[in-house]
A and B are shown apart, each in its own frame.
Chain A
Amino acid sequence: MSTDTFSNPDMPGYVGFANLPNQIHRKSVKRGFEFTLMVVGESGLGKSTLINTLFLTDLYPDRVLSSAQENIDKTVKIDVSTVEIEERGVKVRLTVVDTPGYGDAIDNTDCFQSIIQYINEQFERYLQDESGLNRRHIVDNRVHCCFYFINPAGHGLKPLDIQFMKQLHNKVNIVPVLAKADTLTKQEVAKLKRKVLDEIEENGIHIYPLPDCDTDEEEDYKEQVRQLKEAVPFAVVGSTTVLDVGGKKVRGRQYPWGVIEVENPNHCDFIKLRCLLGTHMQDLTEVTQDVHYENYRSERLAKGGGSPLAAAATAINNNSHSSTNSLPSKKQINSPPVVGQEKDRMVMELEEKEAQIRKMQEMMARMQAQLQDKK
């Protein structure tokens, strides 16, 4: 390290922008990261245990399991819990969205409505924030990743699983997970994985594609990513109990016939799943931003259409750098920025009112439908 920070005689012509990544790194570390993870699956598949195992926290300290009586007439709820975790100075604000009640009723045709609605609401909120006047502190609550828990009993995907994934693969990154993998022997796991992947392909479902790495990455990293790709869907086992196995303290599950270690790659894919989260958190966020959010946005704007929104959009366009949208209406209107700001505010208010009215209409339609069912 040189004492003179402004010039480095050993490297003539050194400008110093190779330092850029460090600057970005320092800034983002200070700002912290936000990540939202959604877990979906029938009850009893070990979702909460897996989350606690992954993040080494207890996100559900006051959890009470419901009895069968309470299970009847249960609707799908959305449970959001946020926790700040820190590792080596890097702070992450992790939000876990749980979906209790999914797949538990006798008639499950509507169980993913509330989930789709939640995801859309987050996109909508982000869209509003992005189109707003003060964009300094946009909170990103969009769902970046969805772990979908597949029941290991059964022979592959159930009709409910296929329906859910078809409806959500364009809105969120789906990572399929084989729950409670300690039920299965190694051959059964391999067979089930192949079956699940075949069914996913047959139904044209797009799960989160782990990106191939560039050829200039290190061999180890490439090998790691290759192994990750092959292991999808991940067969996981979760446990927060620490056991003593041969003098070593490991997290696992104790059976009369043996102990399954959570962090042993020969026993289950937990390590790989954790690695996925660790190495691809940034990519998951990017794909959510670049693909799912953009899809939502273009659909929404095409629907919402007309001049008010387009005017607001053009105002943003004039202020910020060019973004990758291709709506033709934007190019036509050319309102001057000063007057545009005044219009902006009114337009924003109008939009909000419209959104509110739409929400109330939806609620009324839903209540009417419920009344019809009860009859």
Chain B
Amino acid sequence: MPQAGPGVSPVEGVTYVGIDTLQEQTRLKALRRGYTFNLLVVGRSGLGKSTFVNTLFKATVARRKSGEEEPLPSTTEVKTVSSSLSEGGVRLNLTITDTPGFGDHINNENCWEPIVSYIEAQYGRYLQEEQKVDRLLHIPDTRIHCCVYFIPPTGHSLSSLDVEVLQRLDKIVNVVPVVAKADTLTLEERAAFKERIRADLSDHAIKVYPLQEYEDLDDAPENMKIRERLPFAVVGSTTWHEIHGKKLLGRRSNWGLVEVENKSHNDFAYMRDMLIRTHMQDLIGSTAERHYENFRRARLSTKTTSKVNIVNGQDTDHMEDLNESKI
């Protein structure tokens, strides 16, 4: 319904133009096209990555392991699974990328390289398509919008492997660190562990999402709250239990039931809210506007053709590209 401005009478004011229907038009167009979200999960095996992703989207979206046994790949592999989810008329093309073999070997040197090259390959593919003379109207977006990094719940601090990988990933993709299998730690242990991890992250200048430098002022207080809770200590489960007539997702053991959606048990609800309900669009946007642009700038400035736009400053380039980009 058209909203009346302050100096206009409510019913079809004379000065009513109709600009506000833009939002509705955009929404309808986007609905028709559907959204794309690409999630990358990185972590050693057995940390509950697939279960977590399935819990997040309440559907089996992660790669299903064929039978019980899958031989350990000799290097880190990158495997993707795509699915299409639909809710309230909104369609989401979801791609989950998994990294089996990461960190599981005796010698884990360079086990992050396949991951880094995969992320950059997606940027490369987008760039190539963008640069074509006859390019598609809507370039298929396979760029990774968010990387969830699973930290093993040792209770001590980040391991040297974690530090090495995070230092490389935070520059090319939005990284959200997560403490896996948080039901191993009591609440005090969790708080102490989180503090130590935050100290480690700042010691090594690892920037995790949400990034402080690029946020709008409106989002700042909310992001501050999220940052205080980082890294999220999560528990995943796809089994339903019935307690007092209510159906709950959780893990049951002899001494109690860990509820996934219970905010006092773990941070799953906070993580889900951030990832899906409040920050998903920002994740997609910041990947396109920031990480992809960084990649593009680096890639193009290494080419010595005359077609290269000399980089003046970060902001002007940013403005230029914003103007050129399609909605």
Residues of chain A having any CB pair with chain B under 8 Å: 42-45, 65-69, 71-74, 104-109, 151, 153-155, 158-160, 163, 180, 182-186, 253-261, 266-267
Minimal beta-carbon separation of B73 from chain A (angstroms)? 12
Minimal beta-carbon separation of B109 from chain A (angstroms)? 5
Residue in A closest to B199 when the chains form the complex, CB atoms: A67
CA distance A184 to B200 in the complex (A): 28
CA distance A65 to B186 in the complex (A): 18
- Having A108-B106, A151-B152, A256-B264, one finds 18 other A-B pairs with CB under 8 Å, namely A44-B153, A44-B154, A65-B157, A65-B196, A68-B158, A107-B107, A107-B109, A153-B180, A154-B46, A154-B104, A184-B253, A185-B252, A186-B254, A255-B256, A256-B262, A257-B256, A259-B256, A267-B254
- Asked if B187 and A256 make an inter-chain contact with CB atoms under 8 angstroms apart, the answer reads yes
What 1/0 flags go to B76-111 for Cβ under 8 Å of A?
000000000000000000000000000011111100
Within 8 A of A (CB), among B217-266: 251-259, 262, 264-265
Among A74, A106, A259, A261, contact of B161 (Cβ-Cβ < 8 Å): A106
Q: Is the interface of A mostly helix, strand, loop or mixed?
A: loop
- Asked if A182 and B162 make an inter-chain contact with CB atoms under 8 angstroms apart, the answer reads no
Write 22 A-B pairs (CB below 8 A) sorted by A numbering: A43-B154, A43-B159, A65-B156, A65-B157, A65-B196, A66-B156, A68-B159, A68-B204, A71-B158, A71-B160, A74-B160, A107-B106, A108-B107, A153-B48, A182-B253, A183-B183, A183-B184, A255-B265, A256-B262, A257-B258, A258-B255, A260-B253
Number of A-B contacts (CB under 8 A): 126
- Asked if A183 and B257 make an inter-chain contact with CB atoms under 8 angstroms apart, the answer reads no
Interface centre among B106, B180, B258 (most CB of A within 10 A): B106
The residues of B that contact A180 with a CB separation of less than 8 Å are 184
The residues of B that contact A163 with a CB separation of less than 8 Å are 106
The residues of B that contact A44 with a CB separation of less than 8 Å are 152-156
- Asked if B45 and A155 make an inter-chain contact with CB atoms under 8 angstroms apart, the answer reads yes
CA distance A106 to B104 in the complex (A): 10
- Asked if A257 and B265 make an inter-chain contact with CB atoms under 8 angstroms apart, the answer reads yes
Asked if B272 lies at the interface with its beta carbon under 8 angstroms from chain A, I say: no
Q: Is the interface of B mostly helix, strand, loop or mixed?
A: loop
- Asked if A159 and B105 make an inter-chain contact with CB atoms under 8 angstroms apart, the answer reads yes
Minimal beta-carbon separation of B44 from chain A (angstroms)? 7
Minimal beta-carbon separation of B193 from chain A (angstroms)? 9
Asked if B203 lies at the interface with its beta carbon under 8 angstroms from chain A, I say: yes
Q: Given A68-B204, A182-B183, do A259 and B253 touch, yes or no (CB 8 Å)?
A: no
- Asked if B203 and A67 make an inter-chain contact with CB atoms under 8 angstroms apart, the answer reads yes
Residues of chain B having any CB pair with chain A under 8 Å: 44-48, 72, 104-109, 152-164, 180-181, 183-184, 186-187, 196, 199-200, 203-204, 251-259, 262, 264-265
The residues of A that contact B164 with a CB separation of less than 8 Å are 106
Residue in B closest to A161 when the chains form the complex, CB atoms: B106
Q: Given A68-B204, A109-B107, do A260 and B255 touch, yes or no (CB 8 Å)?
A: yes
CA distance A159 to B257 in the complex (A): 33
The residues of A that contact B48 with a CB separation of less than 8 Å are 153
Among A71, A153, A183, A259, contact of B255 (Cβ-Cβ < 8 Å): A259
Minimal beta-carbon separation of B157 from chain A (angstroms)? 5
Q: Given A185-B251, A260-B255, do A255 and B156 touch, yes or no (CB 8 Å)?
A: no
- Asked if A68 and B259 make an inter-chain contact with CB atoms under 8 angstroms apart, the answer reads no
Minimal beta-carbon separation of B207 from chain A (angstroms)? 16
CA distance A107 to B187 in the complex (A): 32
Residue in B closest to A108 when the chains form the complex, CB atoms: B106
- Asked if A159 and B72 make an inter-chain contact with CB atoms under 8 angstroms apart, the answer reads yes
Interface centre among B181, B204, B252, B255 (most CB of A within 10 A): B255
Q: Given A155-B45, A256-B265, do A261 and B255 touch, yes or no (CB 8 Å)?
A: yes
Interface centre among A69, A159, A257 (most CB of B within 10 A): A257
Q: Given A71-B160, A107-B109, A155-B46, do A255 and B186 touch, yes or no (CB 8 Å)?
A: yes
Minimal beta-carbon separation of A15 from chain B (angstroms)? 55
Q: Given A106-B109, A253-B186, do A43 and B156 touch, yes or no (CB 8 Å)?
A: yes
Among B72, B109, B160, contact of A68 (Cβ-Cβ < 8 Å): B160
Residue in A closest to B188 when the chains form the complex, CB atoms: A254
The residues of B that contact A108 with a CB separation of less than 8 Å are 106-108
CA distance A34 to B225 in the complex (A): 55
- Asked if B157 and A71 make an inter-chain contact with CB atoms under 8 angstroms apart, the answer reads yes
Interface centre among A43, A256, A259, A267 (most CB of B within 10 A): A256
The residues of B that contact A261 with a CB separation of less than 8 Å are 255
Shortest 6 CB-CB contacts between residues of A and residues of B = A44-B154, A258-B256, A154-B46, A257-B256, A153-B46, A68-B200
Residue in A closest to B264 when the chains form the complex, CB atoms: A256
- Asked if A68 and B163 make an inter-chain contact with CB atoms under 8 angstroms apart, the answer reads yes
CA distance A257 to B261 in the complex (A): 13
- Asked if B196 and A67 make an inter-chain contact with CB atoms under 8 angstroms apart, the answer reads yes
The residues of A that contact B160 with a CB separation of less than 8 Å are 68, 71-74, 104-106
Minimal beta-carbon separation of B74 from chain A (angstroms)? 10
Minimal beta-carbon separation of B71 from chain A (angstroms)? 11
- Asked if A266 and B180 make an inter-chain contact with CB atoms under 8 angstroms apart, the answer reads no
CA distance A44 to B154 in the complex (A): 4
Q: Given A43-B156, A257-B258, do A158 and B199 touch, yes or no (CB 8 Å)?
A: no
CA distance A105 to B106 in the complex (A): 9
Minimal beta-carbon separation of B22 from chain A (angstroms)? 47
Among B46, B162, B196, contact of A151 (Cβ-Cβ < 8 Å): B46
Interface centre among A66, A71, A186, A254 (most CB of B within 10 A): A71
- Asked if A107 and B258 make an inter-chain contact with CB atoms under 8 angstroms apart, the answer reads no
Minimal beta-carbon separation of A310 from chain B (angstroms)? 40
